[in-house]
Amino acid sequence: MKKVYAKASKLADDIIGMISERNSFGTGPEAQRYSSAIRRKIMILGTRLDRLRSLLTKLPAKQPF
């Protein structure tokens, strides 16, 4: 699960960086292509977060002492 979390976290950081860069492009075809790449990465991040959620639901509940 740590590996899945690490990958999702890195991808989220990449997306944040890409969004910051995207804001410097203004408008035009290059900005549209960059926005499409960001959207693709956001979809991948959503899939990874769904995977993490699934893994978390499979963890055994902690028993009180």
Alpha-carbon dihedral sign for residues 61, 49, 7, 17: negative
Q: Is residue 64 part of a domain?
A: no
Tokens 């699934």, residue located: 54
Range of the domain at 51: 2-57
Those residues whose C-beta lies under 8 Å from the C-beta of residue 56, and which sit 6 or more positions away, are 1
Q: Is residue 31 part of a domain?
A: yes
Q: Is residue 12 part of a domain?
A: yes
Q: Is residue 21 part of a domain?
A: yes
Tokens for 32? 């549209």
**Is residue 55 within 8 Å of 1, Cβ to Cβ?**
yes
Q: Is residue 65 part of a domain?
A: no
CA dist 32 and 54 (Å) reads: 33
Number of domains in the chain: 1
CA dist 53 and 50 (Å) reads: 5
pLDDT at 64: 67
User: pLDDT per residue over 5-42, tens digit each?
Assistant: 999 999 999 999 999 998 888 788 888 999 999 999 99
Q: Is residue 63 part of a domain?
A: no
